[in-house]
Structure formats: C-alpha cells, structure tokens
C-alpha cells in the first residue's frame, strides 16, 4: 500500500514577506544593471529602487555579486533534495539531468546574468567557485551509487570530470550570443556529456 505524501506546509507570513522583499531587491537590481550597467550600480542605488534601506539589502545579500547569483542557493537546495529523494534505481546522473532540465527555462534575469558574467573574468571565477557545493554533492551521491568506501578515489574522479565538462561548456556559452542555443540544443549537449560520464562510471563498476 502506497504511503500518502505528507501535506505541504505553507510558509509563514513572515517567511512570505521575506521572500517578497528578496525578490523585490533582485528585480530592482537587475533593472538597474540594464539601465546603469553592473559596474555602475551600487547597493545604495538598489536600496533606493527597491524602497528599502541599504542595510536591508546587505542583510539579504552581503555583496552585489550575491544578488547577481541570487538563484544559486536555491539550485543547490533543489539538487540536494533531488539526490536525497531519488527513487531506487535513479542514479546521481539522472538526478543531475533532471535539475539541469528544470533550470533551462531561462528568464530575463538569467539571460542578463549570462551577459554580465561573460564580460567579467572575476565573475566567471566566482561562478566556478559557486559550483563547489555541486561537486561535493555529486561525490557523495556517486560514492553511494558505486558503494564506495571513504578512501575510494573513483567518486572524486567522476565528479571532477563532470564538473570540468560542464564548466567548459559554460565558459563557451558565456561568450556566445544570448539566443545562440535553444533549450533543446542545450539539453542535447548535456545528454552527450552525461552519456560520456555514465559510460566511464559503468567502467568503474565490478563486472
């Protein structure tokens, strides 16, 4: 007998107000990035446009860069949840593909972020650094798939190869025109990468 899913807990009014404030700050910031440019937009400008104090902006986002990458923590959370909740037989690579597919519905902020990051090497380095939690989660998940012990280096090799492949694709994508690839084309590339890594992963398993 199938167990009923637990009821969804509605966020409290306080949490909803915090999320609304957060979204207001992000949207105001991206509007200013369009009008003034990323480099010329200050926290004070963003606070004024969002009708909050600079202290409030800094409470939600310690730096302007954190606003630019505001979606990253949520993607981390969704990926961690996808790995934790995956059904029997669903691999770490399957979960990764699902999260990538969901994230390809690019909104205007993501397209703008791509353009900004593509113009600044410092921001590209920051984006790569923010990928570290993904690699750590993949190492743990792949270790589970391989039934690997704590001293087994195979999960690190697979996760590092996967991250290197996607980082290379991302670097090329950042310098390409915003409309150069459709979601379908992007997923075709993702599937090629995952297929290549999956083949290597199978080679690690005992036969």
pLDDT tens digits, 174-204: 555 555 556 677 778 788 888 888 887 776 6
CA distance 108 to 165: 26
pTM exceeds 0.85, yes or no: no
Would 13-64 and 71-204 be classified into the same CATH topology?
A: no
pLDDT tens digits, 105-162: 656 788 788 889 888 889 988 988 888 888 899 899 989 888 888 889 988 988 888 8
Look at residue 37 in the predicted model and tell me its pLDDT: 93
- Of 130, 101, 124, 108, which is closest to residue 178 (Cα–Cα)? 108
State which fold the 13-64 domain adopts. Answer: Arc Repressor Mutant, subunit A (1.10.10)
State which fold the 71-204 domain adopts. Answer: Tetracycline Repressor; domain 2 (1.10.357)
- Higher pLDDT: 51 or 5? It is 51
**Summary mean pLDDT of the chain:** 83
Lowest mean pLDDT among 26-35, 131-140, 162-171: 162-171
Look at residue 1 in the predicted model and tell me its pLDDT: 42
What are the structure tokens assigned to 55, written together? 């202290």
Q: What is the pLDDT confidence band of residue 49, given thresholds at 50, 70 and 90?
A: very high
Determine the distance from the C-alpha atom of residue 154 to the mean position of all C-alpha atoms in its chain, rounded to a whole number. Answer: 24
Cα distances (Å, whole numbers) of residue 72 to 66, 123, 133, 134, 204: 9, 14, 10, 10, 31
Q: What is the pLDDT confidence band of residue 6, given thresholds at 50, 70 and 90?
A: low
Name the residue ranges covered by the structural domains of the chain. 13-64, 71-204
């Amino acid at each position: 007998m199938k167990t009923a899913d637990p009821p969804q807990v509605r966020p409290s009014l306080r949490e909803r107000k915090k999320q609304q404030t957060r979204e207001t700050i992000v949207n105001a910031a991206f509007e200013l990035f369009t009008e003034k440019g990323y480099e010329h937009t200050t926290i004070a400008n963003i606070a004024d446009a969002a009708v909050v104090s600079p202290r409030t902006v800094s409470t939600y986002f310690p730096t302007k860069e954190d606003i630019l990458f505001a979606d990253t923590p949520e993607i981390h959370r969704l990926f961690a949840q996808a790995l934790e909740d995956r059904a029997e037989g669903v691999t770490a690579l399957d979960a990764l593909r699902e999260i990538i597919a969901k994230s390809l519905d690019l909104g205007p902020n993501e397209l703008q972020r791509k353009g900004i990051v593509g113009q600044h090497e410092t921001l590209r380095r920051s984006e790569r650094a923010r990928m570290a939690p993904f690699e750590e989660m993949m190492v743990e998940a792949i270790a589970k798939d391989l039934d690997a012990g704590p001293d087994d280096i195979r999960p690190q090799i697979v996760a590092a190869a996967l991250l290197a492949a996607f980082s290379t694709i991302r670097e090329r994508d950042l310098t390409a025109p915003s409309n150069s690839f459709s979601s379908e084309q992007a997923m075709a590339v993702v599937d090629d990468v995952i297929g290549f890594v999956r083949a290597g992963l199978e080679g690690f398993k005992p036969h």
